[in-house]
């Protein structure tokens, strides 16, 4: 009969062999956590390898993503579409098994992990989504949303500050279906962590409001199983199970040392380890009886069919709730979405309002929330400044998860990673907010959203030196260029309430990219447009004002569009025929056809001037060597906004002077 030790050793063998064949990787953590994984995946995890996207499955996150061979081995053994050849192709070009788990590469990988601490933060988001959806759709008779979120994490995840941000909030919200397993092996790449990591982790998590199950032997199946049962029985607190493990378990000479953390064991050590574990099989060889014990296809299919029967009964008794749940699971917008939104945009254009784009954003949120109850907002503090609440917003609370708003506190990094988890879970459209300057705290999580190509809407206000007296610590300069140049990320910086509404519409509809919406603190003048111009906003850049003949093209975004229009009027009085191009999204504009882009920027016009209160260099690709940029080449200063704009050259007089000098230079 196959023992549980044999089943865990299958993980160890595959992990050792995969890392050795790739000649790189991390075998220690998979070998150390194999016993925990065997208990969780075979005794508790609700999943269906034949349908990895079954909505009511348990979510499993490997936060210590460097131990990716652990996850790949589990997926392969359980019956997912991940072959032994895929495992042999570990870390190779074009494989399903990259060095760290990548969302979308292999079935069953719930999120991209690797940057430590972000996986546990994603898991917090998944647990929030489960609890919110359960509050919305479950009835006194039927629970249609009912699953756990499990996460493995290591010392490195606990050292990263983001784990404090996310886990603190998880405790405050009482996420009882979040269960984390701490791989307490005391080893990192540098060696024994006690020299630089002496936190009392038990007290730390107890202070957050977590249930902590300490002192679990990570190699004792009975203790692990008892701990999981205890965790599952406490639905009012998230649980941290502290598992004492031996990194590289089974290796005679490298177990318990950093030698097995981030490098292959070596062929001789693998041979000795397999002998020590009484594993009598060759490289990548798994006996049929072990495959049979591990395979979860039959049990997974039964669990999903049981849920489908529950859902069928639910659909008969709760028709409207079922229709809404189905729409959300399918990630569909209401049928009237486009027509209703387009009519609203026309009303905005016909009823001008000179308001800050942050206020226009709040108005957009108010309008969208009426049509999309799945819109779930939040802010890292600053909601009165970001203007992210609306008339029907209701904060999630420990004992009432029926709301649609999350107060993240001063946790920008944690917020952004949590939103990634909410988005990955499905059923909600999440957004978060902070000042644009503080996207720096959150940048790596936003980069992960871009890497995964998932929807994550970030509202960044106070977008320039226009922030004013708070000074250069709060005034963003290089951040917009940073966002625009991040692959897969779409950034919008609208110039008035109409462009703001269009940017929000684009963000809601874009399911395969994160979106950064950049808004002003100060009021902006609404621009005049015809219907054709209104339609062209969605193309990212369009002709806002024009002349019969074009001597000069001015390109601007956000608060500088109004300046460009004023300057064009002054230039016309001096005989310079000027076209003003508003370019709220360079990312979207760049994706348009060559024909359209040329119709806007006119390749034969050399005189081009870009104006934006951000770093200048970005705009050189649009103005070329013959053009010029009025932008920022230094940090800001502390002063009222109008004084700052004057000081840094964002005035009609300076725009006219720079334009005339450029035209004269190009004549020569």
Q: State yes or no: 537 annotated in a binding site.
A: no
Question: In this predicted model, what pLDDT tens digit does every residue of 545-573 receive, in sequence order?
Answer: 999 999 999 999 999 999 999 999 999 99
Do 461 and 552 lie in a common domain? Answer: no
Is 187 marked as a binding-site residue? yes
φ, ψ of residue 540 to 5 degrees: the values are: 90, -25
Give me the CATH number covering residue 608: 3.40.50.920
Q: Is 438 annotated as a binding residue?
A: yes
Q: What is the mean pLDDT of residues 113-124?
A: 98
Distances (CA, A) of 252 to 35, 274, 664: 18, 10, 78
Q: Write down which residue in 518, 553, 580 finishes a domain.
A: 518
User: How many C-beta neighbours within 10 Å does residue 94 have?
Assistant: 7
User: Do the domain assignments include residue 456?
Assistant: yes
Confirm whether residue 647 is marked as ligand binding. Answer: no
Same domain flag for 254 and 109? yes
CB neighbours of residue 658 within 10 Å: 17
To the nearest whole percent, how much of the chain has pLDDT over 70? 100
Burial class (CB in 10 A: 0-12, 13-18, 19+), 302: exposed
* pLDDT class of 668 with cuts at 50, 70, 90: confident
pLDDT at 537: 98
Tally the domains of the chain: 3
Cα–Cα distances in Å, from 304 out to 35, 47, 330, 414, 422? 26, 8, 17, 32, 22
In a domain, 565, yes or no: yes
Q: Is 365 annotated as a binding residue?
A: no
- Tokens 């957004």, residue? 431
- 314 inside domain: no
Give CA–CA dist 213/153, Å, rounded.
15
261 a known binding residue? yes
User: Residue 133 pLDDT > 90, yes or no?
Assistant: yes
In the block, tokens 């969208």 appear at 368
Q: Give long-range contacts, CB 8 A cutoff, 24+ apart: 629-635.
A: 630/654, 630/655, 630/658, 632/465, 632/477, 634/477, 635/472, 635/475, 635/477
Active-site residue, from 412, 458, 560, 612: 412
Better-scored residue on pLDDT, 100 or 548 = 100
Q: Is residue 324 part of a domain?
A: no
**pLDDT bracket for residue 269 (50, 70, 90):** very high
Q: Which domain holds residue 240?
A: 4-301
Are both 235 and 341 inside the same structural domain? no
Question: What CATH number should be reported for the domain holding residue 340?
Answer: 3.40.50.970
Burial class (CB in 10 A: 0-12, 13-18, 19+), 141: exposed
The answer to whether residues 362 and 435 belong to one domain is yes
Whether the pLDDT of residue 1 is over 80: the answer is no
Place of tokens 């249609």: 144
pLDDT at 56: 98
- Encode 428-458: b = buried (16+ Cβ within 10 Å), e = exposed: bbbbbbbbbbbbebbbbbbbbbbbbebbbbb
Residue 324 bears catalytic tag: no
d(CA 517, CA 7): 49
**219 annotated to a ligand binding site:** no
Does 148 fall in a domain?
A: yes
Q: Residue 658: helix, strand or coil by DSSP?
A: helix
The H or E element that residue 447 is part of is helix 439-452
- 342 and 244 in one domain? no
Average pLDDT estimate for 499-522: 98
Residue 58 DSSP code: P
Q: Domain end: 257, 283, 301, which one?
A: 301
My answer on whether 66 and 146 are in the same domain is yes
Q: Is 358 annotated as a binding residue?
A: yes
Q: Is 47 one of the annotated binding-site residues?
A: no
Average pLDDT for residues 93-117, to the nearest whole number? Answer: 98
When the pLDDT of each residue in the chain is averaged and rounded to a whole number, the result is 98
| Annotated binding residue 116 | yes
Establish whether 218 is an annotated binding residue: no
Question: Per-residue pLDDT tens for 291-315?
Answer: 999 999 999 999 999 999 999 999 9
Nearest residue to 26 via CA among 78, 83, 65, 80 = 65
Q: Which two tokens stand for residue 665?
A: 């230079």
Q: Are residues 466 and 568 in the same domain?
A: no
Give the pLDDT confidence of 379-388 residue by residue, as tens digits.
Answer: 999 999 999 9
Q: Are residues 443 and 581 in the same domain?
A: no
Q: What is the pTM of this model?
A: 0.98
Residue 284's CB: how many other CB atoms inside 10 A? 15
The last residue of a domain, from among 487, 518, 549:
518
Question: Nearest CA to 202 among 159, 241, 228?
Answer: 241
Q: Is residue 306 part of a domain?
A: no
């Amino acid at each position: 009969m196959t023992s549980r030790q044999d089943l865990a050793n299958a993980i160890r063998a595959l992990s050792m062999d995969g890392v050795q064949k790739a000649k790189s990787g991390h075998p220690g953590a998979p070998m150390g956590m194999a016993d925990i994984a065997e208990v969780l995946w075979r005794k508790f995890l609700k999943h269906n390898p034949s349908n990895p996207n079954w909505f009511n499955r348990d979510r499993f996150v490997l936060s210590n993503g460097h131990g990716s061979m652990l996850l790949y081995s589990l997926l392969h053994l359980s019956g997912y579409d991940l072959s032994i050849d895929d495992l042999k192709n570990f870390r190779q070009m074009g494989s399903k098994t990259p060095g760290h788990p990548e969302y979308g590469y292999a079935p069953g990988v719930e999120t991209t992990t690797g940057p430590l601490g972000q996986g546990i933060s994603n898991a917090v988001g998944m647990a929030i989504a489960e609890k919110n959806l359960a509050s919305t759709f479950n009835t006194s008779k039927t629970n249609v949303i009912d699953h756990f979120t499990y996460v493995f994490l290591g010392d490195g995840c606990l050292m990263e500050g983001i784990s404090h941000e996310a886990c603190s909030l998880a405790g405050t919200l009482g996420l009882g279906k979040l269960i984390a397993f701490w791989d307490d092996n005391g080893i990192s790449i540098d060696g024994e962590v006690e020299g630089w990591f002496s936190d009392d982790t038990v007290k730390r998590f107890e202070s957050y409001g977590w249930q902590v199950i300490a002192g679990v032997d990570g190699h004792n199946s009975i203790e692990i199983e008892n701990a999981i049962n205890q965790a599952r029985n406490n639905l009012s607190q998230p649980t941290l199970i502290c598992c004492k493990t031996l990194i590289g378990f089974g290796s005679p000479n490298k177990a318990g040392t950093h030698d097995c953390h981030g490098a292959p064991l070596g062929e001789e050590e693998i041979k000795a380890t397999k002998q020590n574990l009484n594993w009598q099989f060759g490289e990548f060889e798994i006996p049929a009886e072990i495959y049979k014990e591990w395979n979860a296809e039959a049990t997974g299919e039964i669990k999903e069919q049981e849920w489908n029967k529950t859902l069928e009964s639910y659909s008969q008794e709760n028709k409207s709730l079922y229709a809404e749940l189905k729409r959300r699971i399918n990630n569909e917008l209401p049928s009237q979405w486009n027509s209703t939104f387009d009519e609203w945009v026309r009303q905005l254009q016909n009823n001008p309002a000179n308001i800050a784009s942050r206020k226009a954003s709040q108005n957009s949120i108010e309008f969208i929330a009426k049509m999309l109850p799945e819109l779930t907002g939040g802010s890292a503090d600053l909601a009165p400044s970001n203007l992210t609440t609306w008339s029907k917003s209701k904060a999630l609370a420990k004992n009432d998860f029926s709301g649609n708003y999350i107060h993240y506190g001063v946790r920008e990094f944690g917020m952004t990673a949590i939103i990634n988890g909410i988005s990955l879970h499905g059923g909600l459209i999440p957004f978060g907010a902070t000042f644009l300057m503080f996207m720096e705290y959150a940048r790596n999580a936003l980069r992960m959203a871009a890497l995964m190509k998932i929807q994550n809407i970030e509202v960044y206000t106070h977008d320039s030196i226009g922030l004013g007296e708070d000074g250069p610590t709060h005034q963003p300069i290089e951040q917009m260029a940073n966002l625009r140049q991040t692959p897969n990320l779409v950034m919008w910086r609208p110039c008035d309430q109409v462009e703001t509404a269009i940017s929000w519409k684009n963000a809601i509809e874009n399911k395969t990219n994160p979106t950064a919406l950049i808004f002003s603190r100060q009021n902006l003048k609404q621009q005049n447009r015809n219907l054709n111009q209104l339609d062209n906003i969605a193309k990212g850049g369009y002709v806002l004002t024009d002349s019969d003949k074009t001597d000069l093209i001015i390109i601007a975004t956000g608060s500088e569009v109004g300046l460009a229009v004023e300057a064009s009027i002054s230039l016309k009085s001096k005989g310079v025929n000027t076209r003003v191009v508003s370019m709220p999204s360079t990312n979207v504009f760049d994706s348009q056809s060559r024909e359209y882009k040329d119709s806007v920027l006119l390749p034969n016009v050399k005189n081009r001037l870009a104006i934006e209160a951000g770093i200048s260099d970005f705009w050189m690709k649009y103005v070329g060597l013959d053009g010029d940029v009025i932008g920022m080449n230094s940090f800001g200063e502390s002063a009222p906004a109008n004084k700052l704009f004057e000081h840094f050259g964002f005035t009609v007089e300076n725009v006219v002077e720079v334009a005339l000098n450029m035209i004269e230079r190009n004549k020569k």
